Amino acid sequence: MKWLKKRKRTERNRKGKGTVRLANNKLLQLQANSKQR
């Protein structure tokens, strides 16, 4: 869950610019986790 802290910091720095890409990364990580289980 390290990416949670990093995501909050980046969202504060650039409002709205990197949010979509971060959301995509989150989805990809969730899918990877579900595949491992």
What radius of gyration, in Å, describes the C-alpha atoms of the chain?
11
For 25, residues 6+ apart whose C-beta sits below 8 A from its C-beta are: 3
Which pLDDT tens digit goes with each residue over 1-27?
565 666 666 555 566 566 677 778 888
Mean pLDDT of the region 24-37: 80
Predicted structure pTM score: 0.38
- The span from the CA of 12 to the CA of 29, in Å, is 21
- Given a cut of 80, whether residue 36 has pLDDT beyond it is no
Q: Please give the C-alpha separations between residue 21 and each of 14, 15, 17, 37, in angstroms, as whole numbers.
A: 12, 12, 8, 25
